[in-house]
């Protein structure tokens, strides 16, 4: 099967999922997250942008072999990496928010929380796409500065590095998401 056939099949499958979603919406289902079938999820977000209604529809599904009820996740290397990437990204976000909260209260975070964040940042770097490398390098430099601020007990510097890290995450997401 060449790439065009593969894309065609995915397009046809997506159309079928969208038809199912449309039918469910017509029947009155108004949930933001809708399970269309095992392994197939849809989300619908309606809001107003610049005075006009806007809708964002997302449909995510696994190939049929992975949608079975007895599916054991992560046997496929690609899926395992995707699951690991999401887990690390989630851990990175959670620990970052904990560091922000603690420092905003005028306290230094516990060493184990800081080290958990640093380890997650380094692990996340292994999953970084080539086009993210410049932003990732800056992120890791700020992470090293964050560690240095903690070791030197410089709260102002620690808070400054957390702001820089947050700014770097926003920039990276804007550029690459």
HEC letters along the chain: CCHHHHHHHHHHHHHHHHHHHHHHHHCCCCCCEEEEECCEEEEEEEEEECCEEEEEEEEEECCHHHCCCCCCCCCCHHHHHHHHHHHHHHHHHHHHHHHHHHHHCCCCCCHHHHHHHHHHHHHHHHHCCHHHHHHHHHHHHHHHHHHHHHHCCCHHHHHHHHHHHHHHHHHHHHHHC
* 161 and 109 share one domain: yes
Q: Are residues 101 and 132 in the same domain?
A: yes
Q: Do 110 and 170 fall into the same domain?
A: yes
82 and 153 in one domain?
A: yes
- Residue 95 belongs to domain with CATH number: 1.20.120.10
Say if residue 57 is in the same domain as residue 119. Answer: no
171 and 128 within one domain: yes
Q: Are residues 92 and 38 part of one domain?
A: no
**pLDDT the model gives residue 59:** 75
pLDDT of 38 above 90: no
> Within this chain, do residues 53 and 105 fall inside the same structural domain, yes or no?
no
Question: 83 and 166, same structural domain?
Answer: yes
Q: Smallest Cα–Cα separation from 82: which of 123, 44, 40, 127?
A: 127
**What is the pairing mode between strands 40-49 and 52-61?**
antiparallel
Give the separation between CA 138 and CA 24, rounded to whole angstroms. Answer: 46
Whether 85 has a pLDDT exceeding 90, the answer reads: no
The larger pLDDT score, comparing residue 37 to residue 154, is at: 154
Mark which of 66, 88, 120 sits at the end of a domain.
66
Examine the domain organization and report whether 62 and 81 are in the same domain: no
* Structural domain boundaries, residue 171: 77-176
The better pLDDT of the pair 156, 26 is held by: 156
Percent of the chain whose predicted confidence (pLDDT) is above 70: 76
How many of the other CB atoms lie within 10 Å of CB of 111?
11
Give the model's pLDDT for residue 41.
Answer: 74
Task: Report the domain count for the chain.
Answer: 2
- Comparing 49 with 111, the larger pLDDT belongs to 111
Q: Which of 66, 88, 112 is the last residue of a domain?
A: 66
State pTM to two decimals: 0.55
Residue 71 lies in a domain: no
């Amino acid at each position: 099967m060449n790439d065009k056939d593969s894309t065609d099949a995915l397009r046809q499958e997506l159309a079928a999922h969208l038809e199912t979603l449309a039918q469910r919406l017509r029947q009155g289902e108004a949930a933001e997250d809708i399970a269309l079938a095992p392994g197939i999820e849809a989300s619908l977000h309606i809001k107003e942008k610049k005075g006009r209604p806007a809708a964002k529809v997302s449909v995510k599904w696994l190939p049929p072999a992975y949608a079975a009820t007895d599916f054991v996740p992560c046997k496929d290397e690609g899926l395992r990496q995707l699951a690991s990437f999401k887990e690390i990204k989630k851990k990175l976000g959670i620990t970052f928010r904990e560091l922000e909260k603690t420092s905003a209260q005028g306290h230094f975070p516990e060493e184990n929380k800081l080290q958990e964040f640093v380890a997650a940042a380094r692990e996340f770097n292994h999953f970084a796409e080539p086009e993210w490398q410049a932003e990732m390098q800056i992120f890791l430099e700020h992470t090293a500065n964050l560690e240095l601020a903690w070791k030197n007990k410089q709260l102002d510097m620690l808070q400054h590095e957390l702001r820089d890290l947050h700014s770097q995450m926003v920039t990276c997401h804007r550029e690459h998401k």
